[in-house]
């Protein structure tokens, strides 16, 4: 980690835009990166407001850049599924003959209803045929004719109607008693619960995880990830599962090894150039903890004019790449991109 690359330089480079806001239910997949919605957010040890506080993250860092977060997973806490509305139609002796159950949970099922009858209005002389109509509010959405008394046939016919919002089961064999419209009941609105994000934390000791409420951040799934192979001095950039870039690197010397673990790109900027630093720097969420660096320093991926060090353990912990490679990485890799350093 040469010449204060560990320390954030001037605000020279703009951070690339964070992906658009994910849906209220959370991102479609993880990991997902983004920014904070609130000025300050308490990070907890567990997904609970009563859990131990690990740290407080501010939406803006001390250098004026946005605080980037990487969500590794999400967990819904306090969700209570709603009951499905249902209706039992009885036979002529009062036993259960047909049970109708709403397909979806929640109160909407209470707007569904059914009517059983033995003849169509204005039609005389039909024998051997009965009917059942299904309603949504005041609108008839289905009507089924079936052989009189054959509840199993009625059940099959109902369940074969595409998109019908009820499921039928026939616990008894008796013929249905004819009824006026009866509504399904018992459907209760579900309790939505609170979604929490499990974060990769940019603090020491490295590898810590913490939880924040999803409402405190806006994140979207990441498309890229970087893998640094420390022993063979190689960096691979992937888009999805496809490797799209590979380059040689220099890593930390034996007394200041580049740490293994999972991190992410926390910022991008143009560092102040010197004999060991040039091009662009991708700051990682990996505080170095070096006593001889201001604030302990930060691990980063940066360009170097000392290309003779590539392929060796030569830095103070940073990952050095050729100047052209640093420009390419800065152009392609968004902030929030996961970075994994492996042996």
Would you state the pLDDT for residue 119?
83
Instruction: Please list the residue range(s) of the chain that carry CATH number 2.30.30.40.
Output: 22-78+193-221
* Strand 217-221 relative to strand 32-36, pairing: antiparallel
pLDDT beyond 50 at 17: no
Domain 22-78+193-221, CATH number (from 2.30.30.40, 3.40.50.880, 3.90.480.10, 3.40.800.10): 2.30.30.40
Instruction: Please list the residue range(s) of the chain that carry CATH number 2.40.440.10.
Output: 1-19+222-343
Q: What is the pLDDT of residues 237-282, one digit of tens each?
A: 999 999 999 999 999 999 999 999 999 999 999 998 899 999 999 9
What is the model's pTM? 0.72
Residues 343, 223: Cα–Cα separation, whole Å: 24
Are 285 and 311 in contact by the 8 Å Cβ rule? The answer is no
Task: Give phi and psi for 286, each to the nearest 5.
Answer: -140, 80
Check residues 20 and 117 and name the one with the higher pLDDT.
117
* Strand 96-102 relative to strand 86-90, pairing: antiparallel
Would you state the pLDDT for residue 20?
32
Order of strands, sheet of 224-229, starting from the edge strand that comes earlier in the sequence:
242-248, 234-239, 224-229, 338-342, 261-269, 278-287, 298-303, 319-321
- Helix then strand count (H, E) for the chain reads 2, 24
Structure-token pair, residue 277: 């630093």
Check residues 190 and 290 and name the one with the higher pLDDT.
190
Calculate mean pLDDT across residues 35-55: 97
Half-sphere exposure of 304 (CA within 13 A, CB side): 24
Instruction: Please list the residue range(s) of the chain that carry CATH number 2.60.40.4290.
Output: 86-183
Q: Could you name the CATH architecture of 1-19+222-343?
A: Beta Barrel (2.40)
Would you state the pLDDT for residue 234?
98
- Percent residues over pLDDT 70 in the chain: 89
Half-sphere exposure of 286 (CA within 13 A, CB side): 26
pLDDT beyond 50 at 13: no
- The residue behind tokens 């009563």 is 50
Burial bucket for residue 180 (CB in 10 Å: 0-12, 13-18, 19+): exposed
Residues 122, 119: Cα–Cα separation, whole Å: 9
Calculate mean pLDDT across residues 153-182: 93
Burial bucket for residue 282 (CB in 10 Å: 0-12, 13-18, 19+): buried
Burial bucket for residue 80 (CB in 10 Å: 0-12, 13-18, 19+): exposed
Would you state the pLDDT for residue 18?
32
Residues 167, 159: Cα–Cα separation, whole Å: 6
> Can you name the CATH fold of 86-183?
Immunoglobulin-like (2.60.40)
Burial bucket for residue 160 (CB in 10 Å: 0-12, 13-18, 19+): exposed
Helix (H, G, I), strand (E, B) or coil at 195: strand
Would you state the pLDDT for residue 288?
82
Residues 80, 245: Cα–Cα separation, whole Å: 46
Q: What is the pLDDT of residues 58-85, one digit of tens each?
A: 999 999 999 999 999 999 999 998 999 9
What's the chain's average pLDDT? Answer: 89
Would you state the pLDDT for residue 298?
87
Calculate mean pLDDT across residues 294-309: 86
């Amino acid at each position: 980690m040469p010449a204060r690359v560990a320390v954030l330089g001037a605000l020279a480079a703009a951070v690339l835009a964070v992906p658009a806001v994910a849906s209220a239910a959370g991102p479609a997949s993880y990991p997902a990166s983004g920014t904070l919605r609130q000025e300050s957010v308490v990070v907890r040890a567990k997904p609970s407001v009563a859990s131990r506080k690990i740290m407080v993250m501010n939406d803006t860092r001390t250098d004026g850049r946005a605080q980037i977060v990487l969500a590794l997973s999400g967990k819904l806490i306090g969700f209570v599924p709603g009951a499905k509305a249902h209706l039992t139609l009885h036979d002529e002796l009062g036993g259960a003959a047909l049970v109708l159950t709403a397909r979806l949970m929640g109160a909407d099922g209470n707007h569904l209803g059914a009517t059983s009858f033995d003849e169509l209005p204005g039609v005389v002389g039909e024998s051997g045929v009965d009917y059942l109509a299904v309603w949504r509010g005041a609108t008839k959405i289905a009507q089924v004719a079936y052989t009189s008394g054959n509840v199993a046939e009625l059940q099959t016919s109902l369940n074969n109607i595409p998109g019908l919002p009820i499921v039928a089961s026939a616990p008894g064999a008796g013929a249905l008693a004819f009824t006026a419209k009866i509504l399904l009941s018992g459907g209760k609105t579900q309790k939505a619960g609170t979604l929490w994000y499990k974060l990769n934390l940019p603090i020491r000791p490295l590898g810590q995880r913490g939880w924040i409420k999803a409402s405190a951040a806006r994140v979207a799934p990441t498309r890229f990830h970087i893998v640094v192979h420390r022993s063979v001095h190689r960096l691979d950039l992937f888009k999805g599962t496809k490797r799209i870039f590979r380059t040689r690197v220099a890593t930390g010397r034996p007394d200041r090894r580049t740490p293994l673990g999972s991190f992410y790109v926390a910022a991008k900027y143009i560092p102040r150039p010197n004999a060991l630093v040039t091009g662009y720097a991708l700051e990682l969420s990996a505080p170095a903890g070096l006593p001889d660096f201001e604030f302990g320093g930060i691990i980063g991926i940066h360009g170097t004019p000392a290309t003779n060090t590539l392929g060796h353990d030569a830095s103070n912990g940073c990952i050095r790449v050729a100047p052209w490679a640093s420009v390419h990485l800065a152009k392609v890799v968004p902030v929030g991109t996961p970075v994994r350093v492996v042996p």
